[in-house]
Structure 1
């Protein structure tokens, strides 16, 4: 894994793995994000963001790019193949009001499932968050029915801690966590 320590580069480029490049989400990623946010699996497992047009998607991305995150490095990142720059999925590293610690999240276009991309990208981001940003604990959340995502979290080293319900109109979720030794 190669990481960038320069803040100017960090604004766009974050890290790469043998097959993947992870960089900050940008407005020009709107067509990709529109597709991802409207896939049935995304809506079923994460939720309907009510984003239906490119203009809606650009607003969604702009909101995600707005300053005010809790720490350097938090935000939304696209995952793409290094060789072709084809966009595969999205990673998030966010401190949410509803959680005690930073949450790592991910979503990939269904046509790219079962290639190991989610595990490769999330593991790289997890190590980056620990080694570069100094995070001591990271959480992951998934609905119990999303067994593939649960497996990714477990392979990353996160352990199931508790079931949580964030809102009455939302399903119960599994909360996973990993603590890094001091």
Structure 2
């Protein structure tokens, strides 16, 4: 796996910027059962679709804002296992912390580890004052993780263009 630029490091993980070389991984992640159920179908069906998604999504966000969704890799072998990062979304007053992992890496503490480090990075490196989190009311694992990293429920809302309401969480940094 070609390396992207590293953003941060935890005990077990590295968070690095997405590159087009991550297309195979993105194809797998965005079509995993939990991603499709709780985040939605992005219509990514081929590695070409995945490369376009990476370039027009995470890479563009990094260029525009200095942050975005990034790939979480195991330190041991730099194996991509999921993603985490800050995402600007229309309809939100600040960046949203997002996270997603391949099924075999869910429930092992990786989400808490990388999301906690991302919040620390947001506060100390990016000097953000508040981070938001959104999730479907049925996504109990995400609700639990958002609470575990210190975000508190604020309200239900519907983002522009979405059919479903989501729960909005927030944390002052």
Q: Output the TM-score relative to the length of structure 2.
A: 0.92
CA RMSD of aligned residues (A): 1.6
Separation in 1 of the partners of 2:116 and 2:136? 20
Unaligned runs of 5+ in 2: none
2:69 and 2:98 in contact (8 A); partners too: no
Separation in 2 of the partners of 1:110 and 1:85? 17
| CA distance 1:82–1:168, change in 2 (3 Å) | closer
Unaligned runs of 5+ in 1: 1-10
| CA distance 1:169–1:141, change in 2 (3 Å) | closer
Residue 137 (str. 1) matches residue 130 (str. 2): yes
For 1:77, which of 70, 85, 90 is the aligned residue?
70
| CA distance 1:77–1:147, change in 2 (3 Å) | same
* Structure 1 runs of 4+ with >6 Å offset: none
Q: Output the TM-score relative to the length of structure 1.
A: 0.88
Partner of 2:105 in structure 1?
112
Separation in 2 of the partners of 1:111 and 1:134? 33
Residue 152 (str. 1) matches residue 145 (str. 2): yes
Residue 23 (str. 1) matches residue 10 (str. 2): no
Partner of 1:165 in structure 2?
158
Separation in 1 of the partners of 2:62 and 2:106? 32
Matches within 5 A, 1:84-99: 84-99=77-92
